[in-house]
Amino acid sequence: MKKSKKIYLDYASATPIDGDVLKVFNKALKENFANASAIHDMAVENKKVLDIARKDVARFFDAHSNEIIFTSGSTESNNIVIQNFKNIITTNIEHASILEPARLVNTTFVGVEASGIIDPKKIKKALTLETELVSVMYANNEIGTIQPIKEIAKEIRHFNKTNNTKILFHTDATQAVNYLDMNVERLGVDIMSFNAGKIYGPKGIGALYIRRRTPIKKIIFGGDQENGIRAGTENLPAILAFAEALKITEKIKDKENKRLKKLQEYFVNKLLKNQNSLGPRVAALNQTLDNFNSSKVKINGDLENRLPNNINITIPKIPSDLLVIELSARGVMVSAKSACKSGDEKASHVIQAIRESEQGESLLNKEVDGSIRFSMGRETTKQDIDYTLKSLSQILSKLKKWYT
């Protein structure tokens, strides 16, 4: 069964560029090509345009314009942050752009609960006089769980006040911008990473919010652009498109959140068809029901503290990559784990982390069942969900004789 129309359910990996954003981007490619660091008239004009865009981006986060540093994306932003410190605390479900550089320094990895959410008291317990930075993602890219950023910030502030320390708090907010409160003052963060490619803007442009007087040094050397923190000619067309994407996101966020939440509930209820509703928040973490042709479907991660566009499931014994390929053959595009790590053969480190928390012991990677992530977006419809679930049921019926 090959579907001519593609159903895209991989918005957590990348979003299509918004039509209005694309217009801004294309116009700037033609008109704003001059280097904003030069001193001739066209460059000076572009510098003014750049300053306005920086203010627009800062306004979205309730930040000052000189606290916004443009980068090539969240991977670069995260690397700038982590490579500035030697003693770090982070979680075991972070994106690879946090975990990989963190392994090069003295890092304490704090395990999340079986819900996929970190307990702020565990962060508090891990703090020492030597700690320089705490980095906790705002929302997980694989299972969509939302971390208690405000509560963690309070624990860090209390520790700093009590011990006269200056521990900084960073959050990778890449997945959160479309859906959550991004006010940096309310969140209590010192540094924040985000990008345009997840909010219907162009790829290749991201940013860092860095609170004033926060000691961050450059890791890429060259010119003195971006307050001396990020060398290289500013990508002005992408920056202007980034600012436009944030304006659109701000305008439609509440309405889109409600729409996606209804689709998410519909999706989950169809999966867990013996439930009449999400009920007591689907109490849901360990909910397994015998459906989809006798396959045990498990929802990964807490369903209450979760992004409204994310559903992540495990179907034991059936390889996730095979399910992704089978769904793709039917016109449904999903992911098995973070697209940045899809090339390796290991199970998702996020799923491994929550399984270890559930079972109270370390697991070999090969002992961890895979998962499938369905991440919805602005173009997702109820009909898309119906077709996806019908296709998944057919695939499981086909595969069960080999994998059950």
Q: Which residues are catalytic?
A: 340
Q: Give the separation between CA 27 and CA 189, rounded to whole angstroms.
A: 35
Q: Give dist(CA 229, CA 139) in Å, integer.
A: 26
Beta bridge partners of residue 133, listed in sequence order: 88, 168
Is 195 in a helix, a strand, or coil?
Answer: strand
Q: Which amino acid is located at 142 in the chain?
A: E
Distance (Å, rounded) from C-alpha 81 to C-alpha 99? 12
**What is the DSSP annotation of 325-387?**
HHHHHTTEE-BSS-GGGTTS-SPPHHHHHHHHHHHTS---GGGS---EEEE--TT--HHHHHH
Q: Is 90 helix (H, G, I), strand (E, B) or coil?
A: strand
- Compute the distance between CA of residue 137 and CA of residue 149 in angstroms, rounded to an integer: 8
Q: E strands within 201-350?
A: 206-210, 288-291, 295-299, 310-314, 332-333
CA distance 292 to 314: 12
